[in-house]
């Protein structure tokens, strides 16, 4: 089975001069950076609030805290064996 070859037009070298390009902006404007900082602060505050809520939920669960203390003691004993 013979392959079909598509006709291809040969490229010709252009003698046109390149178009000059001017850079309009060197980077993000200060206002967009301030917006970014404000969004980042808001996100970090929301994340901290979620962490505090989770901490309060964990510390109010007496059974879970008992298990946490037991696990902490076990890990401390394991670390003492290494040192």
Residue 5 lies in a domain: no
Residue-number span of the structural domain to which 69 is assigned:
30-82
Which pLDDT tens digit goes with each residue over 32-45?
888 999 999 999 99
Residue 7 lies in a domain: no
Residue 59 lies in a domain: yes
The tokens 């900082």 sit on which residue?
Answer: 37
Domain count, the chain: 1
Residue 2 lies in a domain: no
Residue 15 lies in a domain: no
Mutual angle of helices 62-82 and 30-60, in 10-degree steps: 100
Categorize the per-residue pLDDT at 50 as very low, low, confident or very high, splitting at 50, 70 and 90. very high
- Global pTM reads 0.51
Q: What is the DSSP string of 2-52?
A: PPP----PPP----PPPPP-----SS--HHHHHHHHHHHHHHHHHHHHHHH
Distance CA 83, CA 58 (A): 31
Contact present, 57 and 64 (Cβ < 8 Å)? no
């Amino acid at each position: 089975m013979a392959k079909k070859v598509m006709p291809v037009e040969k490229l010709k070298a252009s003698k046109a001069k390149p178009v000059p390009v001017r850079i309009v902006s060197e980077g993000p404007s200060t206002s967009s950076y301030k917006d970014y900082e404000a969004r980042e602060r808001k996100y970090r505050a929301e994340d901290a609030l979620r962490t505090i809520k989770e901490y309060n939920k964990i510390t109010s669960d007496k059974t879970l805290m008992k298990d946490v203390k037991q696990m902490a003691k076990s890990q401390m004993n394991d670390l003492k064996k290494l040192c």
